[in-house]
């Protein structure tokens, strides 16, 4: 009995010792930093989601490089004998990755917020530019390439706004840059042309002032057409009595140079005939070309500014069938039929008609 008991004690002791050995062997096995690696992976994913790769690229690159280094070192340690493994560097790289990811997220949030504000400011600025373009050049006969560039710029801006509202700021910025290039260059070209046109303003003002003075002096009607504003004013005794909208020739900017150029002439004219029941209902024929027009035409032809076989043109009228809101005539001034009936009734042969580019100077128009 004692022998059996003794053997049992020996077996229990041996088992306990073996268990202790196993425990010690297991407890001394280096534990891989799996939780730290997982935390680093999650932090890096959050950094990417916050667009740190775009708005905080340097920190994101550091975070990813540290994470990759942690994984490489983990793999190297796993290739060693189990008791020779050391995961200190793995843990260090993982912690550095977490730190850089968090910094990247914070910086990205600040940067993206600032970036978002800048994009919004650019969108507002370009929309203001489009308002100016529409206000000054909507009915201005710009070259087709300039008009096409404006249309493309507007399209790019609209697409950029859609991307911006979706939070897609990088593609939005690319489209905004394209829109800015197109719209700015187009506006500069158009504005330069407008400035050149307004070098004739002193002459326009002289004509307009003279027309109003003569109306007052002679106590008569006088018709004054402002091409830029598309207005036809009727003065009586120097006081504006009527104001009508009008349509012009399709190529109205500048003076009429020759037949077929679709330009509305500029100068001081008189009504030489009245017609009713015409193609455009009521019509008032002007004495274009007058003597001043013929002198200028012959001078420009002699200098080679217009073709030698060109003709001076004629048949410029103030007539009805207007009110379309577009410039469509061959050079005439078209009014709504009801408004044309008013002018037709009060005008007579000899009534002065003065046509100018603008009654306001360029600065007044821009300030408006």
Task: Give one DSSP letter per residue of 218-279, joined into a string.
Answer: HT-EEEEEETTTTEEEEEETTEEEEEEE-B-BTT-SS---STTS-PPP-EEEEEEEEEEEET
- Domain identity same for 40 and 141: no
How much is the pLDDT for 53?
87
Distances (CA, A) of 74 to 43, 69, 88, 89: 18, 8, 10, 8
How much is the pLDDT for 27?
53
Question: What is the percentage of the chain residues whose pLDDT exceeds 90?
Answer: 67
The enclosing H or E element of 232 equals strand 231-236
- Domain identity same for 206 and 146: no
Q: Calculate the dihedral angle through the C-alpha atoms of 149, 151, 156, 162, rounding to the nearest 10 degrees.
A: 170
The verdict on residue 250 lying in a domain is yes
According to DSSP, residue 249 is labeled B
SS3 content of the chain, % helix, strand, coil (to 5): 60, 15, 25
How much is the pLDDT for 24?
47
The verdict on residue 73 lying in a domain is yes
The verdict on residue 185 lying in a domain is yes
Q: Which two tokens stand for residue 49?
A: 């989601």
* Lowest-confidence region among 27-31, 107-111, 205-209, 303-307: 27-31
Going by C-alpha positions, the residue among 345, 353, 327, 337 that lies closest to residue 279 is: 337
Q: Is the pLDDT of residue 287 over 70?
A: yes
- Domain identity same for 145 and 229: no
What confidence tens digit (pLDDT) does each residue in 21-69 have? 555 455 556 788 888 889 999 999 999 988 888 888 898 999 999 999 9
The span from the CA of 175 to the CA of 123, in Å, is 10
* Parallel, antiparallel or unpaired: strands 281-286 and 317-319: antiparallel
CATH number at residue 347: 2.40.440.10
The verdict on residue 2 lying in a domain is no
Q: Coil, strand, or helix at residue 290?
A: coil
- Domain identity same for 156 and 190: yes
Q: HSE, CB side, 13 Å, CA atoms: give it for residue 366.
A: 8
- Domain identity same for 208 and 350: yes
Q: Coil, strand, or helix at residue 239?
A: strand
The span from the CA of 154 to the CA of 178, in Å, is 10
Q: Is the pLDDT of residue 8 over 70?
A: no
The verdict on residue 124 lying in a domain is no
The verdict on residue 115 lying in a domain is no
Q: Coil, strand, or helix at residue 248?
A: coil
Going by C-alpha positions, the residue among 8, 368, 366 that lies closest to residue 191 is: 366
Q: Which range marks the domain in which residue 155 is found?
A: 132-198
How much is the pLDDT for 263?
95
| Domains: count for the chain | 3
The verdict on residue 8 lying in a domain is no
Q: Calculate the dihedral angle through the C-alpha atoms of 344, 345, 351, 356, rounding to the nearest 10 degrees.
A: -50
- Domain identity same for 225 and 311: yes
328 near 247, Cβ under 8 Å?
A: yes
Q: Tell me the average pLDDT of the chain.
A: 90
- Domain identity same for 259 and 353: yes
- Domain identity same for 186 and 47: no
What confidence tens digit (pLDDT) does each residue in 100-114 have? 999 888 887 767 788
The span from the CA of 49 to the CA of 101, in Å, is 11
H-assigned helices in 198-290: 201-218
The verdict on residue 17 lying in a domain is no
Q: How confident is the model at residue 215 (pLDDT cuts 50, 70, 90)?
A: very high
């Amino acid at each position: 009995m004692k022998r059996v008991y003794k053997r049992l004690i020996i077996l229990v002791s041996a088992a306990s010792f073996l268990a202790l050995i196993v425990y010690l062997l297991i407890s001394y096995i280096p534990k891989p930093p799996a939780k730290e690696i997982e935390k680093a992976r999650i932090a890096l994913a959050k950094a990417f989601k916050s667009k740190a790769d775009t708005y905080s690229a340097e920190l994101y690159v550091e975070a990813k490089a540290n994470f990759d280094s942690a994984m490489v070192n983990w793999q190297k340690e796993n290739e060693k004998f189990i008791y020779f493994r050391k995961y200190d560097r793995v843990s260090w790289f993982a912690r550095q990755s977490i730190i850089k990811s968090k910094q990247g997220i914070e910086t990205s949030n600040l940067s993206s917020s600032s970036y978002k504000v800048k994009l919004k400011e650019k969108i507002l600025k370009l929309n203001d530019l489009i308002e100016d373009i529409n206000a000054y050049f909507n009915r201005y006969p710009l070259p087709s390439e300039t008009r096409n560039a404006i249309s493309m710029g507007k399209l790019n801006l609209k697409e950029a706004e859609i991307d911006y509202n979706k939070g897609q700021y990088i593609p939005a910025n690319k489209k905004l840059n394209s829109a800015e290039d197109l719209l700015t260059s187009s506006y500069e070209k158009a504005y330069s042309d407008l400035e050149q046109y307004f070098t004739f303003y002193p002459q326009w003002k002289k004509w307009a002032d003279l027309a109003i003075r003569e109306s007052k002096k002679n106590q008569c009607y006088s018709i004054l057409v402002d091409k830029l504003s598309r207005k036809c004013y009727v003065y009586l005794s120097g006081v504006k009595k009527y104001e009508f909208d009008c349509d012009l020739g399709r190529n109205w900017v500048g003076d009429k140079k020759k037949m077929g150029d679709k330009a509305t002439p500029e100068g001081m004219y008189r009504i030489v005939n009245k017609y009713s029941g015409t193609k455009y209902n009521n019509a008032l024929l002007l004495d274009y070309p007058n003597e001043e027009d013929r002198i200028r035409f012959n001078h420009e032809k002699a200098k080679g500014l217009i073709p030698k076989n060109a003709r001076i043109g004629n048949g410029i009228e103030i007539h009805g069938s207007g009110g379309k809101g577009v410039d469509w005539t061959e050079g005439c001034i078209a009014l709504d039929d009801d408004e044309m009936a008013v002018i037709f009734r009060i005008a007579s042969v000899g009534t002065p008609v003065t046509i100018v580019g603008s009654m306001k100077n360029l600065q007044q128009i821009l300030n408006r």
